[in-house]
Structure 1
Amino acid sequence: MSKKLKWGIVGAGAIFRGAHVKPLKEHPEVEIVAVCDINEAKAKQAASDYGISAVYTDYRELLRRDDIDVIDICTPNLYHSEIAIAALRAGKHVFCEKPDAVSPEEAQKMADAAKESSRTLMVMRNNRFTPAARYLKAYIEQGQMGEIYAGRCGWIRRRGIPGKGGWFTTKELSGGGPLIDLGVHFIDLAVWLMGNPRPVAVSGATYTKFANNELSDSAHSQFGEKQEGGTFDVEDLAIGFIRFDNGAALQIEFSWASNIGEEMNFIELRGTQSGAHLKKGELSLFSETAGQLTNITPVLPSAIGALGHAEHLRHFIDCLHNRAEPINTPEHGVDMIKILNAIYESGKTGKEVRL
């Protein structure tokens, strides 16, 4: 076994507790030695719950420790780039929750800092690690789909606004609504499955229609901390269209609230030899064999809980020990934030945005 990597956690909220701490505590090559949160009580509670020896309220103090190898960022979106850049410049490897940053400029600064420091920067892309996604990627790489020239993806909710009035719905802190919260997941997955073509043009529209609606039917609305009378200056629905340098195109739709039948997430890809539909983790393939149309349903392990998060964290650790090549790079993150930013810009101007 390689030496244990000593981790410092910045942000002791729900995503750390729900998706990061368990796989890190169970990994034989990881030791969480410190936790930081601007809410001291929250940091102390996490330290008590998970046997973490040191507590901080200022991440800069954490970065002064020479013994820490990795900083794991689980804060509101606004602070991802600031903390990541400082950590990289302090000689730490960085794992960060999505999204990479709230602007393309900040995402590029993160990528530059990683290159200049020769440290590894990786941002959570947990949906690449589900059983269905990994199978579909292998299926595509074997040439089974042919040329993938078009697709659709989305995550749509009937009523599922997270942390209403808190940082999720405050644009300054979050960067936006469901597009940056949910879109980063499935746009990334679709683009990765398509072979990472470069985005060249984007058009989109955004809407805010449910800021005053208090109904909820989604477990996901429990994320964040609601604040009565708080801010809601982000969209609750975003739709858009992305063109790529290889001629392929992708339609997108993401919502926290809209009048639909049920919550769902999905990716649909159209290839010249077959098509794929991934809905709520279930994968179906559509092709033709021996002169007949065929539908194929692979038998795959069930994706339970935060499986993808755990697998990505393990992949990151493998990369630090030179056992794997990074599945995603800072440059992928820059392209992602460029796409999201351009959709917001197109929504304001009503015009296509060239990248």
Structure 2
Amino acid sequence: MSDQVKVGIIGIGGLARSVHLPALSQIKTARIEAVCDIIEERARKAAEQYGIPKVYTLYKEMIAKEKLDAIFCIVQPDQLYRIVLDCLMAGLDVFMEKPPGITAFQAESLQFFAEKNNRILQVGFNRRYIPVVQKTLEIMRELTPITHVEGTFLKHGTASFCQGALSAFPSDTIHCVDLVRWIAGGKPVKAATVTGQVNDVVKNAWFSVIKFDNDCLGIVRANYMTGGRTHAFEIHGPQASAFINLGMGENMVKSHIMVHGGKTSYSISSTGTQAQKYIDLDGFELAGSTELHRYYGFYQEDEAFLDCVLNRKKPLADISEGAASMRMVEMLLAAEI
């Protein structure tokens, strides 16, 4: 293999057009050879915009005819499994959008076939790659043991995804589940979940508490009938706390870290504040850009995948991680009380 990865992209919908194509066009190690979409005009427009040589409407034809190194599979969750499997069996490394299938069984099957065929399979958990998330976690790990992690995902819309193929929880809230699990650094061993259903045909609110085998505690909160999109994470330990804001009704990437000042206080009114130190991080500055694909982890995850392909390394968001997060999703759903 040369110093560039010959890439084919399957699925030229909104996600591919808004973040993955802009990212790949800026990454020197990427050479996009072909695009494929069932809507030919959509694929052709993307090819014209980015100077991509070949256009296909059948992905099997593309992987049979083109001499590719890797595939970016950016299709709906209910369509991912079969396409990714076919690409793996054709000897291609694959980047797949999340979730890694619609069940843990599918994710584990993809892990099996990726390992059997010695292929790299990375899942699109872009939150792990967001510069402000990575910097916050780096600082927190230097300051304190992490004992408590929370993830919140609020939106306004139906929780019935892909025309009823699956719920928002495994399809979308998995972003929260995965980041909470990754930051906690342990295996979930106990959980309890309460759910709600407001103005929707399916359950659309989930509040879960989790205990990990390293004694870290976690919380996942999701509600798809609220005032709008809110996405946030909290990381806590004995010496510091971090609050990561990934958007509240508008694009936002920032973090606020509070470092304990050494004085114990349970009441501001009786003993005053604790003289904490504060660290503020601006996600736009850390990414060096106000482009969504740059500050929200898409560029970084795409670049990391290509580096793994070139150097035969295991990705940060490898399919084994994807399968573990899908198992946690199913564990939380099964823990409803």
What is the TM-score normalised by the length of structure 2? 0.85
Q: CA shift at 1:301, angstroms?
A: 4.3
SS at match of 1:275: strand
Deviations, residues 11-43 of structure 1 (Å, cap 9, x unaligned) = 110000011001112222222111112223322
Query: Taking structure 1 as reference, are residues 44 and 103 closer, same or farther at Cα in structure 2, changes over 3 Å only?
Result: same
Query: Please, which of 310, 323, 334 is the counterpart of residue 321 of structure 1?
Result: 310
Correspondence 1:298 to 2:287 = no
Contact residue 71 and residue 92 of structure 1 kept, 8 A: yes
Specify the SS of the correspondent of 2:257.
strand
Distance 1:106 1:323, change over 3 A: closer
The equivalent of 2:323 in structure 1 is: 334
1:257 aligns with 2:248: no
Question: Could you list the runs of 5+ residues in structure 1 that have no partner in the other structure?
Answer: 212-232, 351-355
Report Cα offsets for 1:286-331 as digits up to 9, x if no partner: 2323544414123444153122101110111111222965222211
Q: 2:257 aligns with which of 245, 262, 285?
A: 285
Instruction: Supply the AA of the counterpart residue of 2:119.
Output: R
Residue matched to 1:230: none
Between the aligned partners of 1:39 and 1:91, the Cα distance in structure 2 is 26
Question: Structure 1, residues 42-81: CA drift from partner, whole Å, max 9, x if none?
Answer: 2233333332222222222222135111110110001222
Q: In the TM superposition, what is the alpha-carbon distance from 1:186 to its structure 2 partner?
A: 2.3
TM-score (norm 1): 0.81
Contact map agreement 1:89 1:117 (CA 8 A) in 2: yes
Corresponding residue number in structure 1 for 2:204: 236
- Aligned equivalent of 1:215: none
1:133-172 equivalences under 5 Å are: 133-142=133-142, 144-146=143-145, 148-157=146-155, 159-161=156-158, 168-172=161-165
Number of the residue aligned with 1:246? 214
Hey, what does 2:167 align to over in structure 1?
A: 176
Give 2:250's aligned residue: none
Question: Partner residue of 1:311?
Answer: 300
Which residue in 2 is equivalent to 1:272? 238
- AA paired with 1:285? I
Amino acid at match of 1:191: R
Q: Which runs of 5+ in 2 are unaligned?
A: 247-252, 264-273
Rounded to whole Å, the distance in 2 between the matches of 1:156 and 1:181 is 14
**Contact between 1:33 and 1:52, CA under 8 Å: does it hold in 2?**
yes
How well do the aligned residues superpose, as a CA RMSD in angstroms? Answer: 2.4
How many angstroms does 1:133 deviate by?
Answer: 0.9
> How many residue pairs end up in the alignment?
314
Shift in CA distance, 54/99, structure 1 to aligned 2, threshold 3 Å: same
The answer for the alignment partner of 2:175 in structure 1 is 185
Q: Decide whether aligned partners of structure 1 residues 272 and 11 sit closer, same or farther in structure 2, where only a CA change above 3 A counts.
A: same
Question: Alpha-carbon deviations, 1:183-241, whole Å to 9, x = none?
Answer: 2222222222222x112233323333233xxxxxxxxxxxxxxxxxxxxx543322222
In 2, Cα distance between equivalents of 1:66 and 1:49: 20
Identity %: 25
Structure 1 residue matching 2:178: 3-state secondary structure: helix
On the 8 A contact 1:169/1:234 being kept in 2, the answer is no
CA distance in 1, matches of 2:153, 2:277: 24
Give the letter for the 1:124 counterpart.
G
What letter is aligned with 1:70?
A
Is residue 132–residue 255 contact of structure 2 (8 Å, CA) maintained in 1? yes
C-alpha distance in 1 between matches for 2:56 and 2:125: 27
Which residue identity does 1:187 align to in structure 2? V
Cα shift readout 1:232-272 (whole Å, capped 9, x = no counterpart) = x54332222222122222111112213x5x64211112212
Distance verdict in 2 for CA 1:29–1:206, change over 3 Å? same
8 Å Cα contact 1:315/1:324 also seen in 2:
no
1:268 maps to a residue whose letter is: E
* Secondary structure of 1:111 counterpart: helix
The CA distance in 2 between the partners of 1:340 and 1:49, in whole Å, is: 38
Is the CA contact 1:202–1:339 (under 8 Å) kept in the aligned structure 2?
no
| In 1, Cα distance between equivalents of 2:3 and 2:127 | 29
